[in-house]
Amino acid sequence: MGRAGKAGYLPTLDGWRAIAIFAVLLDHQVEYSPLANYPKLTSFTHTGPNGVSLFFAISGFLICSRLLEERKAFGHISLRGFYVRRACRILPPAFLYLAILVVLSSFGLILVSSTELWSSLFFFRNYLSDQWIHRGWGGYTIHYWSLAVEEHFYLLWPAAMVFVGRRKARWFALGLALSVSLWRTWDFHHHWFNRAVPGPLFGCRTDVRLDALLLGCLVALVLEDPAVRAAFSRFSARAWWMLAVGYASIQAFYFVEGSRTYSIFESALLALIVAGTVNGNRTWVYTFLEWEPMKWIGRLSYSLYLWQQLFLLPQAKSSMAVLQRFPVSLLMTFICACVSYRYIERPFIRLGHRLAPPPTQGRDDLARGAVVEHVPAAVEVGELIAS
């Protein structure tokens, strides 16, 4: 389902991650800068929600693809192996960021409440009400809402793949995605959840955003069929632009209306757009996504997402304020992200690969030191995905 320099590595996804983090950074850097005083400008730069939705589409498609290749290579899916690798991938950088917040808060440089720290540590920040934050606004951890949604997805989907079974997985993903969409529409108008639990932001809750990841899974499951994959590849160049225009039309509607509802159609289009560049004919779009600077930023995207929030909220009486003004804020975000990726992310990903060898090695920079078993089967799956 894509091109790979190494078995199992889908380089276009790094390019998509770069676009997603750029959308988030553009939104946040403008929102918390003097440019925010110009509403006509900020109406064009409110791209953060698009970036997060794109991250969700990438995660759903990639995670499900990895689970499928593991089942094809080994005949089963190891939940232990998946959770070990995910824990080593996600938790160390996330916990490091929280630890730095604790240190800075103890010196009075920023304001962080214990409630928001605990909710971020245990990934229920997206259900935390502002009323529960007794000290500070909570802006330094608010971005952990999306990490919470992803963690809830990681707990649900691999287990579903194991217990629901191969044949029913597609229907399970489709049924659950439709259920989430229907619930989102109903609760948006009737506010049942907020009457029971006042405070959480509607667009941040797992129960109204999970379909964005499930539809990525559904696309991966459908493309597992060689006949569907071949047909998708033949028509993807023309169809891809139709999908892109469809997504742009939805965003234009949001812009005109001045609101956003996160429709299931938007999530489906994003999942198909991402899959189209993994499984399509080579055009300038794929060349751009596989451009080395794009892949480099994509690899940094997780750390960039974590650290950008620290440098967005200037506090006049704090010595941190000088680091929280553009363009210094953007420079500090990249410096911290590079350090985190080099000394935290990569070493722990390799540790996860050693503790629970994946079916394919992935990128060279992450595979060094990893022990990969069942090489012939892994290579076969990698070649299938790369086709």
Res. 281: pLDDT tops 90: no
> What is the pTM (predicted TM-score) of this model?
0.89
Nearest to 339 by CA among 23, 100, 71: 100
Tens digits of per-residue pLDDT, 171-199? 999 999 999 999 999 999 999 998 888 88
Tokens found for residue 281: 């004919």
Smallest CA-to-CA distance from 209 within 79, 22, 43, 54 is with 54
In the chain, what percentage of residues exceed pLDDT 90? 55
Quick: pLDDT tens for 284-332. Answer: 888 899 999 999 999 999 999 999 999 987 765 677 888 888 888 899 9
pLDDT of residue 39: 76
* Cα–Cα separations (whole angstroms), residue 14 to 204, 232, 346: 24, 21, 15
- Per-residue pLDDT, 384: 30
**For residue 45, is pLDDT > 90?**
no
Lowest model confidence (mean pLDDT) among 102-116, 274-288, 323-337, 361-375: 361-375
Beta strands in the chain (DSSP E): none
Taken as a whole, the chain contains a residue count of: 387
Percent of the chain whose pLDDT exceeds 70: 87
Cα 170 to Cα 80: distance, rounded to the nearest angstrom? 23
Distance CA 312, CA 310 (A): 6
Which phi and psi (to 5°) does residue 225 adopt?
A: -70, 120
Closest by alpha carbon to 216, among 384, 47, 66, 385?
66
76 DSSP 8-state letter:
S
50, 126, 150, 317 from 119: Cα distances, Å: 24, 8, 15, 27
The pLDDT of 28-44, averaged and rounded, is: 76
